[in-house]
Structure formats: C-alpha cells, structure tokens
C-alpha cells in the first residue's frame, strides 16, 4: 500500500513540476503549417501597405493631427486575437509569441490565428449575423447551427468571398444538404410557410450585407433625406427573388412575377427585376437569382468589395471604417485605405485572409490607443484613426476572455472535449445574461449596471477565479509560481496580456508577501477577480 501511495505522490509532483515549468517555459516558435507568414516581405504586399500608410499620413496632416506611437507587441496580439477569434491569447501562446523575432511577430501571429479553427468559427458567427440574423428562424426549413458550421468550413478553407456570396444568393436544394440555402429559408414565415421565401427580406439582406447600402429604407416610400434611392429601386431588387420557391426538393426557381402597389398608387403592378445601379454589369443569362449574384460579385461592382473591406475592418478594429457599416456611399470620396484595400481584394481573388493580413500590417492598425504622459488624445484622434479606437468587448468576447484567462493552456479545437463542452455551456449562458448585441453589433452601446453586476457577482467569474487547482489558473499560479513577482506577472499576462507596471508589481507583491496555503490562494483569487473586473479587461484598445 505504501508503495502505491508513494507512486501516486511522485506522479502528482511530476505533474505539478511540469505545470510549474510551463509558467516560464520557452519553446521555439513552430513553423506555420500552411500559411506563408512572411508574406509581409513580398513587394506586392509591402507596396499596398505602404500606400495605405501614405494615405493615412496625408489624412492626418490635413486634419492637423499627430498620430500616437505604435502599440507594444502584446497589445497588438491581444487586439488581433479578440478580432479574429473572440478571445485573448493564452499564457502558453504568449510565451511562444515572444520568442519570434520582433520584426516578424505580428505577421507570424496573424498566420497562427488564421490556421486556428477558433478563427473560422468566430468569423463565421460574425458574418452569419449579417446574413441570417441571430434568431432561430423557422425550424422545419432552417438550421442556423448547420449554416454557421458550413460557413466556418468555407472561411477555414479560404473559399473566395465572391464564390461564397454567389452560393448564398443563388443556391438551391435542401437546407440540410446545401446549408448555403439557409440564407433563403430563414426568411420564410413560420406561420405561412406556403408563401415561401420573403422577397423583401432577401433584398434587404443582399443590399446591406453585400453592397453596404440601405436600399431597404425606401421600401415604403421614396427617400426624403436627399439620397438617390426611390421606392422602385428597392422593389426592382426584390423582384429578383419573386420566383424563389419552396418545394419538396428544397429551394428552387420558377417563373413568377413580382407585384407591388407603390405609395399613392391605386393598384398593384408588375415589377421587373432591375438592379439599382451599374445596370450594364447585369448578365442576361441564368435564373434571376444567378444573374443577381453575378452582378453583386462582378469585379467592376465596387460596392461589393468596399462593403467587405468595411465589415472586415469593423471585425478587427471594433468599429467600421464607414459608420454605419451598411451605409457606404457609391461614389468617392472614401476614407483613406478603403479603395486601396478594395482594389487589392478584387485583384487577389477576393481573398479574406490576405485582406486581414494587410489590415494587420498597416501603421493605423498598430497604433496605440493612448499617448505618452502629458500628451492629450482627443475624440478627433479616434475619429480620424490617429489613435486606435477603443471599443467595448462584445458579450462573447468577454466570455471568451474570462474563460481563457482562467486556463494556462490554450482553449482551442484541440482541447479536451470536456473543456469544450464546459466552455460552450458557460459562454452561451453568460452571453444571454450579459445581453447579446444582436445583428447591429457595431452600434456603440454603453455598459449597463446589470453587466457590471454579472461580472462582479456572476457564477462564471466566480467559478473561474475561486480556489481550484485542477481547473483555475489563479490557484495553479499561487501553488506553482517560484516567487511572488513571477506569480503577479503570470496573472497579468494571463488576464490582461501585459506585464504589470513597477507600481502594480510592488503593490501586489506586498499583498502576497509571507502568504502561504489557503491565504495565498485567496490572495491570487482576489487579484484575478480584480483584473477581470477592471475597465482595461472589458475594452479592446
């Protein structure tokens, strides 16, 4: 019996030693598995980045603004992780990231994230909100989860964005066998399924998600605010979906006229399918939806590329380049960088990954959100992108950051199934209580008292900071860190993705001094709770 107990103790000590070593472990950075992370050295890549940097430099000069300095590498890594995966870097990832040569870190980190399934899952969910909304929809003919999974596969395989868009607009078949058609079936009225897909809803989705224009604002009357749109523009667009029908074999197209009674008209009239601008780009062959899809994604339809650039920019910055995100002018002038990125997007086959890597490489993306002491950052700095714009984390980002900060290991697709199930359940419950931002996720909203109370008193934060050697990083750091300074530094890196300042380190080392056992565990638990509830934690900056 004593031999068995001794063996058990030895195994436990070996395990603790391995974890303790991981706090300070330094691995050589792994090579990218499939992506050329040194793409930023290529001439065609650098020339685009330099052009964008030049456009912003000229813009700041005209605006009489001096941009702030570049942010530190860990800050940039954190904002990239939040924008592309919805969570923060793990302490494990930070240790590897810091071994990459400084001049290569950002592009290496982008490549690392783009290879990760967390990236495609997260971006797919963000895109799905623009395509199908957030509601469950008509269950018998719509599967949102199936749609998001399919979309994640397309993003992971880096399917060209124009091809993906054509599949959404013109796809047919069953919503289970061809998940792309859920874009169409989500518009079916649960209480009137015989009517089929809703032409008005589909036209609104196409105009906002893929063209970045709000033509649906004139579905009831002509524009009254000086814009170009008329009521007829919207219903001519809706007419492309008139023949979209729901059959026993799924979504199919048939011949059917679209009829509508315009404002101040006495009777309905037939409305032919006509695109609202650039009519010369509309092909003559194919079904109505195929023609519309080809027109939307035509390389000369600049609205499509600009709308995509604006949405990806919003994902990465937390704020679109043109706000509102789906109200982009059809004619210039455009903000600096927009047309250059749009042109490159078209020239390189609508490659989402390249677009993200270009944005990440620009000076404007890597700027700090704060200035040195004595230098004031005004609202004009943020409005003109002369400082990185601070934005509140969305609910799923807060949840992802809390859960990751409580684990020294990276929570990703390779994690144990129990960990992934626990994360899914906790994250969903937290987002529901915190308040989902819905489809309009880039509309600025202030924080609420219930949100603060949930962070301070909610079960997820409590469960992820309380004493638990197996599950929670706070306890493991308390037990395994070789000294107080290392414990404080590790906690800061895990939660805030930065090291403590000298003043912060000194303060908390004093609090930890001479603590042992349960009292030391509680001290690290309190530190974790304080850091997670700090303003810094809940903002992208």
The model's pLDDT over 377-423, given as tens digits with 9 standing for 90+, comes to: 888 999 999 999 999 999 899 999 999 999 988 988 777 666 666 66
Tell me what pLDDT residue 220 has.
67
CA–CA distance, 181 with 168 (Å, rounded to integer): 6
Q: What is the C-alpha separation between 186 and 113, in angstroms, rounded?
A: 31
pLDDT at 26: 45
Question: What percent of the chain stands above pLDDT 90?
Answer: 60
The whole-number pLDDT of residue 203 equals 94
Give me the residues paired with residue 269 across strands: 260
* Nearest CA among 20, 27, 12 for reference residue 482: 20
Report the SS3 class of residue 173.
strand
Instruction: Provide the H-helix boundaries in 86-137.
Output: 91-97, 105-114, 117-132
Give the separation between CA 27 and CA 109, rounded to whole angstroms: 15
pLDDT at 77 over 60: yes
Assess whether pLDDT exceeds 90 at residue 116. yes
Confidence grade of residue 227 (pLDDT, cut at 50, 70, 90): low
Which is more confident, 4 or 343? 343
Q: Is the pLDDT of residue 510 over 70?
A: yes
Alpha-carbon span 499 to 505, nearest angstrom: 9
Whether the pLDDT of residue 424 is over 80: the answer is no
Residues paired with 251 in a beta bridge = 173, 246
For residues 332-351, average pLDDT = 97
Contact present, 171 and 292 (Cβ < 8 Å): no
Backbone phi, psi, residue 441, to 5°: -75, -10
Measured CA angle at 209 (ends 204, 213), to 5 deg: 65
Is the pLDDT confidence value at 300 over 90?
yes
Using pLDDT thresholds of 50, 70 and 90, give the confidence band for residue 41: confident
pLDDT of residue 25 exceeding 80: no
* Model pLDDT, residue 453: 80
Output 251 or 14, whichever has higher pLDDT: 251
DSSP state of 206: I
- On the question of a cis peptide bond just before residue 333, with omega within 30 degrees of 0, the verdict is yes
The pLDDT confidence band at residue 505, using thresholds 50, 70 and 90, is very high
pLDDT at position 10, please?
42
Element (H, E) at 309: helix 302-317
* pLDDT value at residue 449: 82
Stretch (H or E) spanning 135: none
What sign results for the dihedral spanned by CA atoms 293, 217, 191, 148? positive
What local confidence, expressed as pLDDT, does residue 106 receive?
Answer: 93
Displacement of CA 106 from its chain's centroid (Å):
18
pLDDT over threshold 50, residue 14: no
d(C-alpha 473, C-alpha 88), whole Å: 15
Stretch 44-70: mean pLDDT: 96
Overall size of the chain counted in residues: 541
Query: What pLDDT shows up at residue 533?
Result: 93
Please give the pLDDT value at position 504. 95
CB–CB of 208/216 below 8 Å? yes
What local confidence, expressed as pLDDT, does residue 139 receive?
Answer: 79
64 CB contacts (<8 Å, ≥6 apart)? none
* Contact yes or no for 159/120 (Cβ under 8 A): no
The residue whose two tokens read 């308040």 is 435
Contact (Cβ atoms closer than 8 angstroms) between residue 424 and residue 416: no
233, burial (CB in 10 Å: exposed 0-12, middle 13-18, buried 19+): buried
What percent of the chain stands above pLDDT 70?
87
Residue 470, pLDDT score: 62
What is the separation of C-alpha 340 from the centre of its chain, rounded to a whole number of angstroms?
22
pTM, two decimal places: 0.91
Q: Is 130 exposed, middle or buried (0-12, 13-18, 19+ CB in 10 A)?
A: middle
Sorted by sequence, the CB contacts under 8 Å of residue 289 that are 6+ apart come out as 169, 170, 240, 241, 243, 244, 253
pLDDT confidence of residue 192: 67
What pLDDT, on a 0 to 100 scale, did the predictor assign at position 517?
85
Q: What integer pLDDT is reported at residue 15 of this predicted model?
A: 46
> What is the 3-state secondary structure of 47-68?
HHHHHHHHHHHHHHHHCCCCCC
More confident residue, 255 or 18: 255
- Position 204 scores a pLDDT of 93
Q: What is the mean pLDDT of the chain?
A: 87
Q: DSSP letter for 270, please.
A: E
List, in sequence order, the alpha helices (H) in 133-171. 144-156, 161-170
Is the pLDDT at 32 greater than 60, yes or no? no
Instruction: Give the mean model confidence (pLDDT) for residues 263-285.
Output: 89
User: What's the whole-number mean pLDDT along residues 303-323?
Assistant: 97
Confidence of residue 337 (pLDDT cuts 50, 70, 90): very high
Residue 253: phi, psi to the nearest 5?
-110, 140
Q: How confident is the model at residue 447 (pLDDT cuts 50, 70, 90)?
A: confident
Q: What is the pLDDT of residue 19?
A: 47
Q: Residues 6 or more apart from 32 whose CB is under 8 A from it?
A: 108, 111, 112, 115
Say how far apart CA 456 and CA 513 lie, in whole Å.
26
> Please, which contacts does 374-378 make with residues 24 or more away whose CB atoms are closer than 8 Å?
375/68, 377/68
Q: What is the pLDDT of residue 226?
A: 56
In the prediction, which pLDDT does 91 show? 94
Is 267 strand, coil or helix?
Answer: coil
Phi, then psi, of 85 in degrees rounded to 5: -130, -10
């Amino acid at each position: 019996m004593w031999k068995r107990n001794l063996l058990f103790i030895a195994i436990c000590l070996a395990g603790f030693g391995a974890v303790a070593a991981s706090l300070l472990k330094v691995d050589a950075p792994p090579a990218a598995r499939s992506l050329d992370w040194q793409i930023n050295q290529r001439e065609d890549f650098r020339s685009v980045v330099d052009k964008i940097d030049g456009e912003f430099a000229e813009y700041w000069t005209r605006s009489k603004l001096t941009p702030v300095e570049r942010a530190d590498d860990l800050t940039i890594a954190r904002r990239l992780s939040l924008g592309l995966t919805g969570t923060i870097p793990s302490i494990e990832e930070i240790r590897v990231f810091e071994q990459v040569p400084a001049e290569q870190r950002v592009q290496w980190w982008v490549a690392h994230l783009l290879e990760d399934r967390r990236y495609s899952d997260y971006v797919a969910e963000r895109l799905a909100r623009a395509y199908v909304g957030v509601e469950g929809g008509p269950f018998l003919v719509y599967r949102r989860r199936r749609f998001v999974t399919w979309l994640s596969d397309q993003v992971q395989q880096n399917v060209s964005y124009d091809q993906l868009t054509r599949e959404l607009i013109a796809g047919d078949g069953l919503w289970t066998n061809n998940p792309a058609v859920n874009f169409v079936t989500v518009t079916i009225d649960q209480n009137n399924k015989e009517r089929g897909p809703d032409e008005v809803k589909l036209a609104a989705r196409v105009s906002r998600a893929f063209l970045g224009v709000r033509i649906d604002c004139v579905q009831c009357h002509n524009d009254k605010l000086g814009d170009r749109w008329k009521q007829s523009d919207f219903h001519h667009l809706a007419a492309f979906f008139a023949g979209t029908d729901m059959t026993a074999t799924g979504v199919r197209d048939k011949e059917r006229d679209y009829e509508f009674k315009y404002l101040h008209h006495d009777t309905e009239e037939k409305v032919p399918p006509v695109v609202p601008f650039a009519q010369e780009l509309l092909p003559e062959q194919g079904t109505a939806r195929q023609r519309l899809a080809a027109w939307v994604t035509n390389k000369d339809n600049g609205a499509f590329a600009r709308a995509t650039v604006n949405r990806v920019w919003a994902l990465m910055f937390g704020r679109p380049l043109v706000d509102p995100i789906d109200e982009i002018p059809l004619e210039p002038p455009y903000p600096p960088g927009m047309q250059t990125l749009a042109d490159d997007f078209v020239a390189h086959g609508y490659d989402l990954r390249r677009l993200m890597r270009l944005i990440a490489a620009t000076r404007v993306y890597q700027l700090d959100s704060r200035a040195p002491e004595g230098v004031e950052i005004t609202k004009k700095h943020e409005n003109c992108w002369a400082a990185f714009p601070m934005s509140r984390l969305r609910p799923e980002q807060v949840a992802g950051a809390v859960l990751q900060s409580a684990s020294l290991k990276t929570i990703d697709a390779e994690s144990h199934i129990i960990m992934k199930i626990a994360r899914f359940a906790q994250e969903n419950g937290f987002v529901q209580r915190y308040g989902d931002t819905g489809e309009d996720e880039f509309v600025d909203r202030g924080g609420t008292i219930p949100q603060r109370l949930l962070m301070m008193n909610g079960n997820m934060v409590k469960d992820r900071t309380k004493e638990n050697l197996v599950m929670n990083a706070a306890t493991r750091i308390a037990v395994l860190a070789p000294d107080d300074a290392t414990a404080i530094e590790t906690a800061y890196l895990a939660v805030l993705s930065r090291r403590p300042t000298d003043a912060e380190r000194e303060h908390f080392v004093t609090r930890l001094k001479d603590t042992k056992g349960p009292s030391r565990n509680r001290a690290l638990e309190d530190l974790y709770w304080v850091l997670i509830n700090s303003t810094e934690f809940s903002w992208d900056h």
